[in-house]
Amino acid sequence: LLRFNIASLSSNVNQWQEVFDQLGDEFTRAEVESALSRTESNTPVRTVLYKWRLLGVIEDLEKGRTGKTNQPTVVKFKKVKK
């Protein structure tokens, strides 16, 4: 029943639609994390980004390295226009 809750702000296609709408056309991992905290979502940033990539709504724009382990990671993303 929750899947078809029309009054809700959530989307059946994109679970984090409210977060997605808060972001600009280009955004960083930190901006996603900030938007997730504003919407009180406990979902890890990497999970959200992974799902958005699978849906084809974002693409990687710039790679960098993580602070703690210095591992390569994507740090900037771009919304895909459809």
DSSP 35-55: HHHHTT--S-HHHHHHHHHHH
Q: Could you tell me which of 80, 36, 48 has the C-alpha nearest to residue 61?
A: 80
Contact 21, 38 (CB under 8 A): no
- Which parts of the chain register pLDDT below 70? 1-14
Task: Give residue 28's pLDDT.
Answer: 92
- Integer Rg of the chain from CA: 14
pLDDT score for 3: 58
Tell me what pLDDT residue 13 has.
47
